[in-house]
């Protein structure tokens, strides 16, 4: 089975602090467009999506999670860097255990050899489309606070 025809099963954690969301920044070089998505990653064989979520946050930003609640499953069919992709996302709402993460502007981590920036973005910028959240279906799970 080629990589192009494989469905990837991942887990993502929505961490919201008032009207901000903690996301990683990505860039599509074909569309010349930055985008943002919650942190998380692939679920390994024999691992639950909850276990994978906790592991991914440890690996990526050395963070423990608390108040973890399952939100649902989102299917995402997309084009990234000109290549088709297909993901099944197990989505969770959660919080950082360590409050220091809420005081950060941004931090960097590595996914393989690629450096990735994680940061807090204003939810209003995601809702307005000024910043692109992927998949956009995740906007349905964000709690808008007035």
Q: Please give the Cα distance from 36 to 103 (Å, whole number).
A: 19
Return the residue matching tokens 């993502």. 12
DSSP state of 44: P
100-146 residue pLDDT tens: 999 999 999 998 899 999 999 999 999 999 999 999 999 999 977 65
Distance between CA atoms of residues 82 and 110, nearest Å: 23
Which H or E run contains 67?
strand 65-80
Confidence of residue 12 (pLDDT cuts 50, 70, 90): very high
Chain mean pLDDT for the chain: 94
How many other C-beta atoms lie within 10 A of the C-beta of residue 101? 20
Report d(CA 50, CA 145) in Å as an integer.
Answer: 26
Note the pLDDT of residue 146: 57
Q: Where are the domains of the chain?
A: 3-141
What backbone torsions phi and psi does residue 33 show, to the nearest 5 degrees?
A: -140, 130
What CATH number was assigned to the domain covering residues 3-141?
3.90.79.10
pTM: 0.94
Query: Under a CB-based contact definition with an 8 Å cutoff, are residues 24 and 36 in contact?
Result: yes
């Amino acid at each position: 089975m080629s990589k192009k025809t494989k469905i990837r099963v991942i887990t993502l954690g929505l961490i919201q602090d008032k009207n901000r969301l903690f996301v990683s920044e990505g860039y599509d070089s074909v569309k010349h467009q930055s985008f943002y998505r919650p942190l998380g990653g692939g679920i390994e064989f024999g691992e639950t999506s909850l276990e994978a979520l906790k592991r991914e946050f440890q690996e990526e930003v050395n963070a423990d999670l608390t108040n973890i609640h399952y939100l649902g499953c989102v299917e995402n069919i997309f084009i990234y860097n000109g290549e088709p992709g297909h993901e099944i996302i197990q989505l969770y709402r959660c919080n950082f255990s360590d409050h220091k993460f809420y005081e950060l502007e941004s931090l960097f981590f590595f996914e393989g050899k690629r450096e990735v920036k994680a940061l807090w973005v204003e939810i209003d910028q995601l809702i307005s489309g000024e910043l692109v959240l992927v998949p956009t279906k995740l906007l349905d799970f964000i709690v808008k606070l007035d």
